[in-house]
């Protein structure tokens, strides 16, 4: 009788120990971090890895610091801690205007300098990470892992030597195309090849190979479909798109949503699609109201000629004047669009669709804080990341799958690509 009683006890204890050490479960046990999955307590937070954000480039262009609010107050370090943010790709933002005028490398270096100086101000809250091991070490210390990234490979000015030096300075993620097509590949709103674009160029193939060799994660956001498919054909490592939704739910030729074919191909390579908190990406009504037919062009120049014809010594004065004008327009735009924000459920719908298509291992999240000026109702600043987790749990997702979507999937890809 005693033996029969011991059998279920032993099985129960064994099962409990087995579950305790499954990857993705009970992260405080695995990583030394403070986050737990039990709901109902003040510290019940999922660890978050944000796939695309601009905290430093925002203060670089708008002033202030990452520790306190500036004219775009959605991200501060206190808000990030409140929301459970544990890692993020901190993007420098390089406009096409800079490359056309041969100051892209210089401006990228200036933004790198601001990245390191900002992080040095808050050593107890944030640290630089260049590997997954360093991300985990910062996680154990309860700090945010900031990973240096570039939005716009035109920052290289077509020089692979610059790429190698940027890697030495800490660059670990970069997207190939931003607002206009370039000598790597075409942009999403291409007029060529029935909208699919001209594909990956010979230089683009060299760039992909060198990013693979160095261990720099390739981001395919904003990139035309043919270039996306070409990159996934030649890359020897997983790739990501850090701010794209499902084209089946929201389609516009000017925005970077992906077809089912593209998502399936990405998953087959063990990559990740990060669904952003961007209203025009996840909601058709918002897109039709504010972005229908709009081709963005350069952030500074729109579709005007990019080469500066003024006195070369005044080019930074010209840039500052354009920035000031853009900042004024940005404030007006934010006020206007704040009245039409879609609900958080729109984001969850896209995640649901992708999970049903390829599974929960290939989807993640991103904010674009510091980029586009508004987000979604319920996820309007960095203090509200956990609202996504709760919404997923409310849809019936398991804690393990929620943990993957909130951060573990992106960390897996980062670790596989960035080996040194």
In 141-224, alpha helices (H): 160-168, 202-214
Tokens of 147: 């990973």
Task: Summarize the confidence of residues 41-64 as an average pLDDT.
Answer: 88
Task: Summarize the confidence of residues 1-12 as an average pLDDT.
Answer: 41
Q: Are 51 and 242 in contact (CB under 8 A)?
A: yes
Higher-pLDDT residue of 10 and 356 is 356
pLDDT at residue 254 in the model: 79
- Could you give the CA distance from residue 72 to residue 304 in angstroms, rounded to a whole number? 27
pLDDT at residue 43 in the model: 53
Higher-pLDDT residue of 82 and 31 is 82
Q: Are 218 and 239 in contact (CB under 8 A)?
A: yes
pLDDT at residue 302 in the model: 87
Task: Summarize the confidence of residues 371-386 as an average pLDDT.
Answer: 96
Residue 239 has pLDDT above 50, yes or no: yes
Give the predicted TM-score (pTM) of the model. 0.89
Q: Are 338 and 306 in contact (CB under 8 A)?
A: no
User: pLDDT band at residue 39, thresholds of 50, 70 and 90?
Assistant: very low
Q: How far is CA 262 from CA 53, 201, 246, 315, in A?
A: 23, 19, 10, 40
**All domains in the chain, ordered by first residue:** 46-417 (3.20.20.140)
The pLDDT tens digits of the residues spanning 275-324 come to: 999 999 999 999 999 988 777 788 889 888 999 999 999 999 999 998 88
pLDDT at residue 237 in the model: 97
Q: Residue 217: CB partners within 8 Å, gap ≥ 6?
A: 172, 173, 174, 211, 239, 240, 413, 414, 417, 418
Q: Is 159 exposed, middle or buried (0-12, 13-18, 19+ CB in 10 A)?
A: exposed
User: pLDDT band at residue 21, thresholds of 50, 70 and 90?
Assistant: very low
Tokens of 216: 């720099």
DSSP three-state, residue 329: helix
- Could you give the CA distance from residue 57 to residue 49 in angstroms, rounded to a whole number? 18
Q: How many CA atoms lie within 13 A of 297 on its CB side?
A: 10
pLDDT > 70 fraction of the chain, expressed in percent and rounded: 90
Q: Residue 259: CB partners within 8 Å, gap ≥ 6?
A: 225, 247, 248
What's the mean pLDDT when you consider all of the chain? Answer: 89
Residue 15 has pLDDT above 70, yes or no: no
């Amino acid at each position: 009788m005693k033996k029969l009683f011991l059998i279920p006890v032993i099985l129960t204890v064994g099962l409990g120990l087995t579950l305790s050490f499954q990857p993705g479960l009970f992260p405080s046990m695995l990583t030394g971090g403070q986050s737990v999955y039990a709901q109902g307590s003040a510290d019940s937070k999922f660890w978050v890895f944000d796939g695309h954000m601009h905290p430093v480039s925002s203060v670089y262009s708008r002033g202030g610091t990452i520790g306190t609010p500036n004219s775009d107050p959605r991200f501060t370090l206190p808000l990030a801690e409140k929301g459970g943010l544990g890692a993020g790709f901190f993007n420098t933002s390089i406009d096409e205007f800079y490359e056309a005028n041969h100051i892209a490398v210089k401006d990228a270096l200036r933004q790198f300098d601001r990245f390191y100086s900002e992080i040095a101000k808050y050593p107890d809250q944030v640290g630089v990470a260049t590997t997954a091991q360093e991300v985990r070490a910062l996680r154990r210390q309860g700090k945010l892992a900031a990973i240096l990234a570039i939005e716009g490979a035109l920052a290289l000015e077509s020089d692979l030597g610059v790429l190698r030096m940027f890697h030495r300075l800490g660059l670990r993620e970069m997207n190939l195309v931003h607002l206009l097509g370039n000598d790597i590949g075409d942009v999403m709103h291409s007029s060529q090849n029935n909208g699919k674009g001209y594909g990956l160029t010979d230089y683009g193939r060299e760039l992909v190979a060198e990013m693979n060799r160095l261990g720099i994660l390739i981001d395919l956001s904003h990139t035309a479909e043919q270039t996306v498919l070409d990159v996934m054909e030649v890359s020897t490592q997983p790739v990501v798109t850090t701010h794209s939704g499902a084209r089946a739910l929201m389609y516009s030729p000017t925005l970077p949503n992906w077809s089912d074919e593209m998502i399936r191909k990405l998953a087959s390579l063990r990559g990740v699609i990060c669904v952003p908190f961007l209203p025009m990406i996840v909601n058709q009504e918002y897109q039709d109201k504010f972005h229908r037919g709009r081709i963005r062009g350069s952030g500074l120049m729109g579709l005007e000629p990019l080469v500066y014809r003024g006195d070369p010594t005044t080019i930074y004065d010209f840039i500052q004047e354009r920035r000031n004008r853009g900042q004024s327009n940005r404030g007006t735009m934010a006020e206007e669009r704040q009245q039409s924000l879609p609900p958080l459920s729109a984001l969850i719908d896209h995640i649901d669709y992708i999970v049903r298509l390829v599974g929960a291992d290939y989807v993640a999240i991103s904010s674009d804080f510091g980029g586009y000026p508004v987000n979604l109702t319920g996820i309007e600043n960095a203090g509200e990341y956990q609202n996504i987790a709760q919404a997923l749990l409310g849809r019936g997702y398991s804690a393990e799958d929620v943990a993957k979507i909130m951060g573990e999937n992106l960390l897996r890809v980062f670790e596989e690509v960035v080996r040194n």
